[in-house]
Structure 1
Amino acid sequence: MGIPVVVGVDGSEAGLEAVDWAADEAVRHTVPLRLVHVATPDQLPHPLTGHPNHASPAVRVGREPASDQDVQETADSIVTSATTRARQRAPTVQLSGEVLYGDAAAALTGKGRNAFALVLGSRGLGDLAGLLLGSVSLAVAARADCPVVVVRGGVEHRDSRFGNVVVGIEDGAGSGTALQFALREAQVGRCGLTAVHARCTATSGSPETTAPADWTPEAQRRSPGQVLDDALHGPGDRCPHVVVSRRAVEGPAREALLEAASGADLLVVGARRRRGHFGLQLGLVNHGVLHHSPCPVAVVPQI
């Protein structure tokens, strides 16, 4: 049936909202759904005392601490509850679940190497009050090899009531994979697509605050409308049933994307590979939308 949508579950309300979104996504794409709970090192027993280990030596993902029955039972209960919720939401989807032990971000990132997408809640049980985005979600979005969807916003945004997907378009090749993902989501969701390109001018702000890392002054030679036309030519033609709207904005990209997302079911942004390093470069714009978006955000790594 294809590679699965993977959703991280931790027993939090945000995690259950992610399960709902992931179940709907699995239905839309007719792929399996895999629920993963990661018991973190501070929940594991100290090798000598048997008490929870707050010093947390390295723990291998997948190693079950057989001496701590309570941790195992709690983890199994979290997966069972999430599975019940997913089955009620999507009774026809092929479901599976597993418990891993170790660092949550590393474990989930590893599962993303063979995933259609990784879906996470905006905050987990262990996050401090007042945080806008959980530390695990941010770390996974910055490191995963597959699209990462952080489920945010109210029920009207999470339940696809707007009939609109928004995608951010950069000047250059950095948005190609994100655009393909956004078009595919719009097509299976039978909704429209809004492509947004924002550019700061001498009067609207400094280009370095919103442009990609390889921005040069020559990029300003193309008009914002031309940037959108060039990006959509080809990919848009392959999805003729998706109605595409173009929005060229003079101003900061973060504000333009957040404004467009106020009437969207999903906001899609691209993520570039770091030069000379493993992992992704989220940048200021992606950090901003991950923390403040009114709807779910998909971070799609550039291939």
Structure 2
Amino acid sequence: MTPTVPAGSVVIAHDASGNSAEALAWGLEQAALERRPAAVVRLLNVTEVQSAAWIASSGAGLQVLHDLRRQAVADLDALVALARRQHPGLQVDGHVVERETRQGLVELSASAHLVVLGSHGWGPVGSLLLGSVAAAVTRRADCPVVVVRPPADARLSTEDGAGILVGVDGAPESLPVVEHAFALASLRGRPLTAVHCVRDLVAAYAGSSWVPGVQDAEDGRSALLDTLAGAAEKHPDVAFTAQVEHGLVAQVAGNRARPWDLVVVGRRHHGAWHRLLVSTTTTAVLEHARCPVVVVPEARVPAGRG
């Protein structure tokens, strides 16, 4: 049974991997910035553990499961104690979630403000693999999901980055993505770059040989500025730039001399073809970006559209 965590929490998935530690640090910082409770969760796939234990030694499943539960609780208690010392005043709690990793995180996303996880991880108590868990959770979660990617250069500090990048397609449904990006830029005091890649969608139909014209770029910039207007007015403290690119958003996210501090992309609610296309684009960004990536569910398409 998935445990109940405070509504509006920042849910942070944690296991024994190095990237999981980075995800924990990022999630705690974000929870402190937003003054929201943090719920640190350790995923324990009971069925998988019992099956593996039975194969290894008949009848040993219950003892193995008991030991893993006890170890998971002990690990979380230590993490929570350290987090509370590092962030005085922040509400931090630990939860052992006895669910398959993907399903458990998706269920928690129904009441969470944000789900944070590492790009990969190993161990008997949950495995955060970019190709499976991160991809599945970003596709199905009800709230924004942050996948913390390892930095391009561990020696760089936050101040060395180029700020926050948000990919915008100009559609009304992408407004929640833009608003989330501006809110993050405001909280973190970072500049924001909004990019509209005019090739991304057309390339899926026309192939890599398609070259956008001048009108395509002008139309893209106009749509981009219109999309940014409301969020920019709401967050006048955010310094932002708008640009139209003739490539793919994954290339913009990954190919920079100065890495981004954060990349924000949307996940659209559409039919099977659009789900495949957007899923592929989001996965490409997750694989190319060398910084945390935030995947924000876009507004649902009204009936009769899409």
Q: Give CA-to-partner distance per residue, 1:16-54, whole Å, 9 cap, x none.
A: 1110000100111111100011111322367995334xx
Q: 2:101 aligns with which of 100, 104, 125?
A: 104
Q: SS of the counterpart of 1:248?
A: strand
**Cα pair distance change 1:98/1:264, threshold 3 Å:** same
- 2:135 equivalent to 1:138: yes
Q: 2:89 aligns with which of 92, 98, 102?
A: 92
Q: Where does residue 203 of structure 2 map in the other structure?
A: 207
Q: Where does residue 214 of structure 1 map in the other structure?
A: none
CA deviation after TM superposition for structure 1 residue 256, in Å: 2.1
Q: Where does residue 113 of structure 1 map in the other structure?
A: 110
Contact 1:143-1:280 within 8 A present in 2 as well: no
Q: 1:286 aligns with which of 257, 282, 286?
A: 282
CA deviation after TM superposition for structure 1 residue 121, in Å: 0.5
Contact 1:132-1:292 within 8 A present in 2 as well: no
Q: Comparing 151-160 with 19-28, which one deviates more in the overlay?
A: 151-160
Distance 1:288 1:302 in 2: 18
- 2:261 equivalent to 1:265: yes
CA deviation after TM superposition for structure 1 residue 250, in Å: 1.4
Q: 1:295 aligns with which of 288, 291, 295?
A: 291
Q: SS of the counterpart of 2:267?
A: strand
Q: Where does residue 254 of structure 1 map in the other structure?
A: 250
Give runs of aligned pairs for residues 150-165 of structure 1, distance below 5 A: 150-154=147-151, 155=154, 159=158, 161-162=160-161, 164-165=163-164
Number of residue pairs matched by the alignment: 278
RMSD over aligned Cα, in angstroms? Answer: 3.3
Q: Give CA-to-partner distance per residue, 1:249-289, whole Å, 9 cap, x none.
A: 11223212323695321100000113279x99743221101
Distance 1:2 1:124 in 2: 27
Q: Where does residue 169 of structure 2 map in the other structure?
A: 170
CA deviation after TM superposition for structure 1 residue 193, in Å: 0.7
Give unpaired runs (5+ residues) of structure 1: 53-64, 212-216
* TM-score, normalised with respect to structure 1: 0.80
Distance 1:245 1:291 in 2: 25
Q: 2:59 aligns with which of 45, 50, 59?
A: 50
Contact 2:149-2:290 within 8 A present in 1 as well: yes
Give unpaired runs (5+ residues) of structure 2: 1-5, 208-212, 300-306
**Cα pair distance change 1:134/1:21, threshold 3 Å:** farther
**Cα pair distance change 1:67/1:198, threshold 3 Å:** closer
Q: Where does residue 188 of structure 1 map in the other structure?
A: 187
**Cα pair distance change 1:111/1:179, threshold 3 Å:** same
Q: Which amino acid aligns with 2:252?
A: A
Distance 1:116 1:106 in 2: 17
Distance 1:234 1:66 in 2: 57
Q: Where does residue 14 of structure 2 map in the other structure?
A: 9
Q: Which amino acid aligns with 1:240?
A: P
Q: SS of the counterpart of 1:136?
A: helix
Contact 2:250-2:289 within 8 A present in 1 as well: no
Q: Give CA-to-partner distance per residue, 1:235-258, whole Å, 9 cap, x none.
A: 211111101111211122321232
CA deviation after TM superposition for structure 1 residue 79, in Å: 1.6
- The structure in which a higher percent of residues are helix is 2
Contact 1:38-1:101 within 8 A present in 2 as well: yes
**Cα pair distance change 1:158/1:94, threshold 3 Å:** farther
* TM-score, normalised with respect to structure 2: 0.79
- 2:40 equivalent to 1:35: yes
Q: Comparing 134-143 with 189-198, which one deviates more in the overlay?
A: 134-143
Q: Which amino acid aligns with 2:28?
A: A
Q: Where does residue 223 of structure 1 map in the other structure?
A: 219
Distance 2:188 2:21 in 1: 21
Contact 2:266-2:297 within 8 A present in 1 as well: yes
**Cα pair distance change 1:209/1:81, threshold 3 Å:** farther
